[in-house]
Amino acid sequence: MHSAAPSGSGGADLVVGTVDLSAPRVTFPVMVPLMGLAPYRPALVMGFLISIGGLTESTARGAWEALQAYIWASEQPAPSATDLPPVRSAHPRSPVHKATRLASPPPSFPTDFVRVLRGQLQMPPPSGLPGRWVWGGSIHKANAAIPLLGVLVGYPDPTRAEALGLLLQLLCHKYPTVRRETALQLAGVLDEMSDEAADILTVDTNWTSPDKALLKTRQQRLIQLLLNPAPAAPPAPTCTQ
């Protein structure tokens, strides 16, 4: 981490001292506030995705819980200066509780986070979300990103639009398991959608099928239904006496 830290960013001071960085329950809560610093964000997002998609349960769970808590904190009011703990502490357990309060995420963090995810997954710019068959990089990073994007779909726009757009793009990922998990995630997190969209996601489409033309057609229809829905028809005029 120190070798990759941008010079003069000041972030390294947050991870020194008595912190045991070999323990996942300590490492991830200490590291995640550094995502508030733009120079650190791409490397940290990549590291967290690799950890969440890893095989070690304690590592995957620790990374997921710390990252989800930090994203959620972006909607909470920032702590006052008197509430902020010191950066360093002699107590070996205190960094776990204190690091998550070292800095509040900037309000734009959820949207910025989705955009960094797009880069880490090697996804093309949305620009109309054409039904292209995309490579999307590592299958492990893609599968780790899917539940994170599902959480972010619950945020207001522009975060919701960015997260939903990226999930819809993942429906044309080259790996069948990524396509399947994306469809399941969309079906699970979208509370309000038409019966047609629900059927495409869960019943009418085998997202592991090699039929690219069919899957692109289904993806495009979902984009129309979920991302660019037709405006509601105006109410019928009523006669007045």
Q: How far is CA 55 from CA 28, 59, 60, 189, in A?
A: 16, 8, 7, 25
What SS3 class is residue 134?
strand
* Torsions phi, psi for 173 (to 5 deg): -70, 150
The answer to whether 76 and 155 are in contact (CB under 8 A) is no
**Which pLDDT value is given to residue 231?**
55
CA distance 47 to 157: 26
Copy the structure tokens of residue 43: 């490397």
Which pTM value belongs to this model? 0.70
pLDDT per position as a tens digit, 2-13: 334 444 444 444
**Which pLDDT value is given to residue 26?**
75
CA distance 147 to 151: 6
pLDDT per position as a tens digit, 164-214: 999 999 998 889 999 999 999 999 988 888 999 999 999 999 999 999 899
What SS3 class is residue 156?
coil
pLDDT per position as a tens digit, 90-113: 333 444 444 444 456 777 888 888
The answer to whether 165 and 222 are in contact (CB under 8 A) is no
What SS3 class is residue 173?
strand
pLDDT per position as a tens digit, 74-92: 665 443 333 333 333 333 3
In this prediction, residue 18 has a pLDDT band, given cuts at 50, 70 and 90, of low
Q: Dump the DSSP string for 210-234.
A: S-HHHHHHHHHHHIIIIISPPPPPP
What SS3 class is residue 15?
helix
Determine what percent of the chain is predicted with pLDDT higher than 90.
20
* Most confident among 39-43, 73-77, 134-138 (mean pLDDT): 39-43
The domains of the chain are located at 11-76+93-99, 113-226
